Amino acid sequence: MALLEVTGLQVEFDTPEGAVKAVNGMNFEVNEGETLAIVGESGAGKSQLVMAIMGLLAENGSASGKALFRGKDLMKMKPKELNTVRGRHIAMIFQDPMTSLNPFLSIEKQMTEVAMHHQGLPRDEARAHAVEMLRAVRIPDPEERILQYPHEYSGGMRQRVMIAMGLLCEPELLIADEPSTALDVTIQAQITELVSELRQETRMAIILITHDLAAVAEISDRIIVMYAGEVVEAGSVDDIFYRPQHPYTRGLLASVPRLDRVSDDELQAIPGNPPNLLELPSGCRFRDRCVEAIEQCSEKPPLWVSADGRVSRCVMEMEGGAIEPASEEAGGAE
Amino acid sequence: MNSGVELKDQGLEIKDPFAAALAAEDIRGRSLWVDAWHRLLKNRAAVVSGFIMALMVMMVIFGPMLLPWEGDFTDWDNTSTPPSAQTGHWFGTDAVGRDIMVRTLEGGRISLLVGLVATLVSLVIGVSYGAVAGYYGGMTDRVMMRIVDIIYALPFMFFVILLMVVFGRHIVLIFVAIGAVNWLDMARIVRGQTLSLKNTEFVEAARACGVDHQSIIRRHIIPNLLGVVMVYVTLTIPQVILVESFLSFLGLGVQEPMSSWGALVNDGAQDMESSPWTLIFPAMFLTITLYCFNYIGDGMRDALDPKDRT
Amino acid sequence: MIQEGILRHAATRLLGLIPTLLLLITIAFFMIRVAPGGPFDSEKVLPPEIRANLDAKYHLDEPLLQQYFRYLGQIMSGDFGPSFQYKDWTVNELIARGFPVSATVGGLAMLLAFVLGTLIGITAALKQNTATDYSVMGVAMLGISIPNFVIAPLLILGTAVYAGWLPAGGWDWSWQRMVLPVITLALPVIAYIARLTRGSMIEVLHSNYIRTARAKGLPERMVIRRHAFKPAILPVISYMGPATAALITGSVVIERIYSIPGLGSYFVQGALNRDYTLVMGVVIFYGIVIIVLNFIVDLIYAWLNPRIRYDEAS
């Protein structure tokens, strides 16, 4: 059984301009100890997807579908039950470390409360544990620094604190929503490296959300590429990088500098912008920007699925894949 | 952000940065106002308040002309009579037989007039002070805002009272006194807005084209301040009316034979046990007015600053 | 380290108070002195020698600037001089008599306003956009819009005149006589604090760190109490300064309506009688009270806010 099994997940936002479907039928699994990267441009719905799983959607958002964590549906849980999972079995770190820590509470308070609440540790034990974790994420002088407030930390340090806080209860799943996007490039590399180390040291599964396809190459097992609220392609890292099926994935790859492939081609950006979710094109959602678009693209593209878990949503046939009608129903219902 | 899109939509090709700045500002301005207006119309409380206030203003202006009584006419046959259609005194009369309805409406003229004029006084002082401080920035700004901070900490209400005591209770003095102590908030808001506007692209474009200070302030800063100033004016009017009625209630405001809602409430409070209508009607008019102005101001703020709506 | 930060913060703020105080005294002094008609003009024409004696007694015969510095020195030593109207009283004595009464009513009103206002505001924020929220905020708007001097007579009519539950006015330090004045004085402040708290609580609840707290699996009560409460009431703390001023102003009206022998009553009497020394004394005294309370509020704010607490230390 997969650790997390998501089926037919939809997220909708109620806006003054009308209902916006940010996530339109997602199906995927995360196995124990596995790192899954979800890649896509901003606005592709990847953040809202995990927010929905964690029950953290804004008030005007609503989610449907299933998200089975160890067989229990997170979407059906009452707040009280959900709180026994969040922070304890699933931890989450966010995009903006500058604002994700409470500026009015010391790092100690914010860290110890997790262990004290979920594991019932007494304060001093929780504190010792927190210091330990800070050391694990390479915060210098953790005994001193734990007494400080967030504004005394740099952005990269704050993200380390967030990670340490997430790891306190040794969760089975860590969701990292663009953990390094808001940071300086050098710090980004450090954070990515930290995540990669933790991945090896712990047996924790990770969902890593990012818009940077290149950054996830080394640290993930599988990759899901999202576009306009849908999966367009999924597969192992090797599949995605060396045998990309979907034109969008190829476009993403072409826009990223790569060391493993010497080429005279210039880097190419995908033309245009992601579609407005209120005015989606008919048929394939990527059609307007696709350099390989043909006439049939104005009809709904089929979802190709192979036995080894590869997925592609394109009119073009995927090698070794078959059109899957079931998930097509769940995923593509308009 | 919007402006760029709209420019493209209209197929305008603008190369000259100054012209572009002007056009962008124009379009931005228009759609901003239209958007805000639509949002305001959706705010039921504000719309209803607007209607009530329009009605109130009409009543206060034309009501006394239509009523058969003069404000200072004493009907000795009907002293302290309760509201009744038979005597023709719909709101009743006070202890010397004056018609409460006509007095309430005439008092409303004074209260609304004070509200409007004193707000204008504070508007003129506040906007010029704040715009200058914000636009020139630097040392000028620091000194000017420090002065505002200092004055801010003063118990201004007591200065108004002191002014009234020292210089007598003339209505013009009331305008000036209330206006002169109420400009601080306006100055602060306008300064903040100016400061942030100053660095926007269209102002920089204008400056790069050699437009002088005065025209920049007049053509670019002031029109963009309009929104926030309008909101603030709407919220200042009830404050000023309140201050005036407060003074009048204490016997330090307008003098007989002139009257205002505050003075009438004061009169009414003396006789409230025997003839509560002398208290209730002016109090009701005053409260409704303040209530409506506050709702309109709130609605306008929400309409112009949609981030607060969540 | 904490103490040092706060101390430094306090010191800078304290220095900033001096110009404010000076300005307060100066404006009050010159406003009175340029007033048309001296304090003895209202009484019948005095023989010149008596007039000269009186002027000498109150130092009105000295040059204006000398009077100013004399008055400044006087104030510094805490002496507001004699009252022109209450012949046997000094202004200090009148303040000493009136202020405890006013401070009691004002303090109780502030306490009531803070507790009720934040409670109502938080409740409304947690039930945002429900019927509860709308009705509570509608009532709060009414509370802001109805002036004190309208509420007070209506309350007296309702609870004292018609129902007879409470005395309509007067003062004897009993709670029965405090109820109506305190409620009247507190109502607009309750309403304002409720609106303020609701707004800031909603903003805080949308912040990223509250999302983090929820993601940590903390129960909602703990999220509110531990993570959201402090930042949400910070704006209320800053409002306490202006609220004090509002309460003091309101107390002038309240004391008049409920016949309470507080400082406000003396002030209004002094104003109507042109008792310049008394009026000036009360204005300056209230000015000092407001400035001092603002200063305390400022310190509380700094103490609650770790950014100020530490940054000024380093």
Which of A104, A116, A149, A163 to probe by mutation at the C interface, max C CB count within 10 Å? A104
In a domain, B5, yes or no: no
In a domain, A28, yes or no: yes
Q: Could C245 and B151 be called an inter-chain contact, meaning their C-beta atoms sit closer than 8 Å?
A: no
Which range is least confidently modeled, A75-84, C106-115, C292-301?
A: C292-301
**What count of CB pairs under 8 Å joins A to C?**
82
Q: Could C145 and B290 be called an inter-chain contact, meaning their C-beta atoms sit closer than 8 Å?
A: yes
Residues of C in contact with B298 (CB under 8 A): 141
Whole-structure pTM value: 0.81
In a domain, A119, yes or no: yes
Task: Give me the residues of chain A with pLDDT under 70, please.
Answer: 257-267, 325-334
Domain-terminating residue out of A134, A168, A202: A168
Chain position carrying tokens 């995360």:
A30
**Residue A85 and residue A195 in one domain:** yes
Helix, strand or coil for residue A227? Answer: strand
> Alpha-carbon distance A54 to C297, whole Å?
40
**Residue A152 and residue A116 in one domain:** yes
Domain-terminating residue out of A168, A196, A222: A168
Give chain B's domain count.
Answer: 1
CATH number at residue A1: 3.40.50.300
Which of C1, C129, C216 to probe by mutation at the A interface, max A CB count within 10 Å? C216
Q: Which of B153, B162, B287 lies nearest to residue C146, judging by beta carbons? A: B287
Residues of A in contact with C307 (CB under 8 A): 103, 149, 151
Query: Phi then psi for A256, rounded to 5 degrees?
Result: -110, 135
Is the CB of C230 inside 8 Å of chain A's CB atoms? yes
**Residue A61 and residue A36 in one domain:** yes
**pLDDT attached to residue B99:** 76
Greater confidence (C143 vs B205) lies with C143
In a domain, B10, yes or no: no
**Residue A237 and residue A138 in one domain:** no
**Residue A126 and residue A208 in one domain:** no
Identity of residue B104? T
In a domain, A321, yes or no: no
Q: ipTM, 2 decimals?
A: 0.87
Domain-terminating residue out of A151, A168, A185: A168
**Residue A154 and residue A221 in one domain:** no
**pLDDT attached to residue B11:** 34
In a domain, B288, yes or no: yes
What angle, 0 to 180 degrees and rounded to 10, lies between the N-to-C axes of helices C91-126 and C131-145?
A: 160
In a domain, B310, yes or no: no
Structure letter (DSSP) for residue A181: T
Is the CB of C32 inside 8 Å of chain B's CB atoms? yes
- What the block records as the tokens of B218 is 């007049």
Q: What is the DSSP string of A6-37?
A: EEEEEEEEEETTEEEEEEEEEEEEE-TT-EEE
Greater confidence (C256 vs C213) lies with C213
In a domain, A251, yes or no: yes
**Residue A46 and residue A110 in one domain:** no
**pLDDT attached to residue C45:** 63
Residues of A in contact with C207 (CB under 8 A): 99
Question: What is the extent of the structural domain holding B179?
Answer: 33-304
**Residue A146 and residue A239 in one domain:** no
User: Residues with Cβ < 8 Å from B133, sequence gap 6 or more?
Assistant: B140, B141, B144, B145, B187, B191, B194
∠ CA C254-C256-C257 to the nearest 5 degrees?
Answer: 65
Question: What is the extent of the structural domain holding A135?
Answer: 102-168
Asked whether the beta carbons of A13 and A60 are under 8 A apart, the reply is yes
Helix, strand, coil shares of chain B as percentages rounded to 5? Answer: 75, 0, 25
In a domain, B151, yes or no: yes
Asked whether the beta carbons of B267 and B278 are under 8 A apart, the reply is yes
**Residue A77 and residue A118 in one domain:** no
- Give me the domains of chain C, ranges plus CATH numbers: 101-260 (1.10.3720.10)
User: Residues with Cβ < 8 Å from C229, sequence gap 6 or more?
Assistant: C122
Give chain A's domain count.
Answer: 2
**pLDDT attached to residue A97:** 84
**Residue A39 and residue A108 in one domain:** no
Residues of C in contact with A59 (CB under 8 A): 128
DSSP alpha helix (H) spans, chain C: 2-33, 48-57, 64-76, 91-126, 131-145, 148-155, 175-205, 208-215, 220-222, 229-257, 263-272, 276-304, 306-311
Q: Could C307 and A94 be called an inter-chain contact, meaning their C-beta atoms sit closer than 8 Å?
A: no
Task: Give me the residues of chain B with pLDDT under 50, please.
Answer: 1-28, 307-310
Q: Which of C209, C218, C231 lies nearest to residue A113, judging by beta carbons? A: C218
pLDDT band at C58 (very low <50, low <70, confident <90, very high): low
Is the CB of C225 inside 8 Å of chain A's CB atoms? no
Q: Evaluate if residue C218 carries a pLDDT over 80.
A: yes
**Residue A82 and residue A108 in one domain:** no
Is the CB of C231 inside 8 Å of chain A's CB atoms? yes
CATH number at residue B240: 1.10.3720.10
In a domain, B211, yes or no: yes
Q: Which of B155, B159, B283 lies nearest to residue C150, judging by beta carbons? A: B283
Is the CB of C294 inside 8 Å of chain B's CB atoms? yes
Structure letter (DSSP) for residue A296: G
